[in-house]
Homo-oligomer: A and B are copies of this chain.
Amino acid sequence: MDTREHIIDLAEELIRTKGYNAFSYGDIAGVLHIRNAAIHYYFPSKADLGVAVVDRELEKIAQSRVEWATLPADQQLRKVVENFYTGSRKGWICLNGSLTPDYLTLPDPLQKKVKIMCQAVLDWMTACLEKGLEDGTLQFEGTPAGRALLVMSALLSSLLLSRVLGKEVFDSMLDQLLKDIHLQNNRS
């Protein structure tokens, strides 16, 4: 059992439910049945832990891009949407939705990582929409870059708003969002 990875798992969950500034080493230590100071052995500072969470997410993004490279654009997007649907069911928001509001309070190394993560998601989304135009599986108004920002924004916000206003909001938003890029929504 990899304690280090277990700590990152718990930190990610805490960031996505309570936020970076609202969780403590104690929250993690309680679950692992060790003292909070023990976490400092694996991650000397809280910033190190935050960076580790984001770094792992960056790896997942890079990995998915490679794995899904041969799929049609609409299928790639469907897989992304699936991840958000899973988050919605658990009441988890995405890392960008949690970390960008706290951006100005984050320690410098973590700020840099968040910036990289935001850009990585945006780049991937833009590339995906471009591909969709080429392979004919997607259609939309405007440029891929401009539309990618709106898609990313809607996915991020759907988790924020549905947690406050109710789960139906998530379905309603995704329905209209996917229609805007002419992607058939399987779920509705």
Contacts and interface: CB of A to CB of B under 8 A. Distances in A.
Nearest to A154: B153
Interface string A134-164: 0000000111011101101110111011011
Interface string A166-184: 0001001101110110000
A136 B145 CA distance: 29
The 4 A-B residue pairs with the shortest CB-CB distance, nearest first, are A153-B157, A146-B176, A100-B160, A22-B105
Nearest to A160: B100
A100 B164 contact: yes
Main secondary structure, interface of A, reads helix
Interface stretch (A30-38, A44-52, A63-71, A114-122): A114-122
Contacts of A176: 141-143, 146-147, 149-150
Contacts of A173: 146, 149-150, 153
A19 B102 CA distance: 6
A165 interface: yes
A8 interface: no
Interface of A: 17-19, 21-22, 91, 93, 96-98, 100-105, 114-115, 118-119, 122, 141-143, 145-147, 149-150, 152-154, 156-158, 160-161, 163-165, 169, 172-173, 175-177, 179-180
22 contacts: A18-B105, A19-B21, A97-B101, A98-B101, A100-B160, A100-B164, A101-B102, A103-B160, A115-B165, A141-B176, A142-B176, A143-B176, A146-B173, A146-B176, A150-B150, A150-B173, A152-B157, A153-B153, A153-B154, A153-B157, A153-B161, A180-B180
A14 to B, nearest CB: 10
